[in-house]
Amino acid sequence: MQRQIFDDYESLSSAAADLVLETVRQNPGAVLCFATGNTPVGTYRQLIEKARARQADFSQCFCFGLDEWVGVPPEKSGTCHQILHEQLFKPLGIRGTQVHLFDGMTDDISAECRRMNEMIRQKGGIDLMLVGIGLNGHIGFNEPGCSPELEAHDQELHESTLASGQHYFNEPTPIAKGLTLGLAQVRAARTVLLLANGAGKASIIQKALEGPVTPEVPASHLQQHEGAVVMMDKAAAAQLTQ
Ligand code: PGA
């Protein structure tokens, strides 16, 4: 696992955007997976600016979404679906046929998860997965205690995830469960780019990077991933001891 520490959020976001662009430049057919949340907002903004300036070509790549809220219509502001399409795919010219996201409105969760797993296998696995980290150490909706062997699955969400999740919506929205790629798929991605910024993440970043590898801190599994890159700003890295 590599660590990179940046002075501030803008330089962290710029480096993360560069890594996505470089991945697609080297492999135009790259299979990508994107998270939502506050952390990657700057990365996506810079990715769009840089992609336009460099005339980057995303027409051959394929994109997965990391997770989705169960029971929230996809067009609603705040879903992973709506955020990724509006803030990333449309501005980059990525077409609907190049994207596979969880359907949070499915009435057959097992079938939905099987479809996701099958699609990832068909595409030959994920080349670059961009993720954030929850205050409880989750990646996607892999909450503390999740088996590292799981593929796509549904998950009851923890209090802290529900509380921060509510901020993504522009009106109170009932949420209880999520659909997520599993830690097996995070661990199998050729590169996992984990982003963290702000002092609020300093404690969990220290546990995830320097504490024991344990299901209680799902992001700690990245310590054993040779292709993991953790990009942090100084505030998020403040409690690291090494
Ligand atoms: P955040 O969420 O980027 O909004 O901090 C991260 C996460 O919960 O994975």
- Residue 242 is predicted with a pLDDT of 87
Residue 128 CB neighbour total at 10 angstroms: 23
Taking the centre of ligand 1 as the mean of its atom positions, its distance from the CA of residue 235, in whole angstroms, is 15
Helix (H) or strand (E) holding 199: none
Pocket of ligand 1, beta carbon within 6 A? 37-39, 132-134, 138, 164
Q: Return all residues near 119 (Cβ < 8 A) that are at least 6 apart.
A: 64, 100
Give the model's confidence band at 73: pLDDT under 50 very low, under 70 low, under 90 confident, else very high. very high
d(CA 234, CA 208): 16
Q: Is the pLDDT assigned to residue 152 strictly greater than 90?
A: yes
pLDDT of residue 193: 98
Ligand 1, atom 7: closest residue by C-alpha:
134
d(CA 114, CA 46): 34
Instruction: Report the pLDDT value the prediction gives residue 149, as an integer from 0 to 100.
Output: 97
- Over the stretch 82-127, which tens digit does the pLDDT of each residue have? 999 999 999 999 999 999 999 999 999 999 999 999 999 999 999 9
Pocket probe for ligand 1: among 9, 38, 146, 192, the residue whose CB has the most ligand atoms within 8 Å is 38
Q: Which residue has the tokens 């994109």?
A: 63
Q: Extract long-range pairs of 39-42: CB within 8 Å, 24+ residues apart.
A: 39/132, 39/133, 39/195, 39/196, 39/197, 40/16, 40/130, 40/132, 40/195, 41/87, 42/9, 42/10, 42/12, 42/13
The backbone region for 124, taken as left when phi is positive above 0, alpha when psi lies in -120 to 50, beta otherwise, is: left
Closest residue to atom 2 of ligand 1, CA basis: 37
Residue in 81, 85, 100, 138 annotated catalytic: 138
- State yes or no: is 81 an active-site residue: no
**Per-residue model confidence (pLDDT) at position 220:** 98
Strands, sheet with 177-180, edge to edge from the N-terminal-most edge strand: 67-69, 177-180, 153-156
Q: Do 60 and 29 meet the contact criterion of CB atoms below 8 Å apart? A: yes
At position 112, the amino acid (one-letter code) is: E
User: In the numeric block, which tokens belong to residue 29?
Assistant: 């057919």
Task: Indicate if 67 belongs to the active site.
Answer: yes
Indicate which residue of 100, 103, 136, 154 is catalytic.
136
Phi, psi for residue 234 in degrees, rounded to 5:
-60, -35
Mean pLDDT value of segment 198-222: 98
Using the mean position of ligand 1's atoms as its centre, give its distance from the Cα of residue 140 in Å. 8
Average pLDDT over residues 147-153: 98
> Among residues of the chain, what percentage have pLDDT more than 90?
98
Instruction: Quote the pLDDT of residue 144.
Output: 97
CA distances from 72 to 79, 169, 189 (A): 7, 10, 27
CA of 239 to the centre of ligand 1 (A): 19
| Residue positions counted in the chain | 242
Asked if residue 204 lies in contact with residue 135, where contact means CB atoms within 8 angstroms, the answer is: yes
CA 140 to chain centre: 6
Mean pLDDT of all residues in 129-152: 97
Answer whether residue 60 shows pLDDT above 90.
Answer: yes
Percent of the chain with pLDDT over 70: 100
Q: Is residue 131 a contact partner of residue 119, using CB atoms and an 8 Å limit? A: no
Mean pLDDT rounded to a whole number for the chain: 97
Q: What is the pLDDT of residue 175?
A: 93
Tokens of 153: 């699955």
- Residues 3-42 have pLDDT tens digits of 999 999 999 999 999 999 999 999 999 999 999 999 999 9
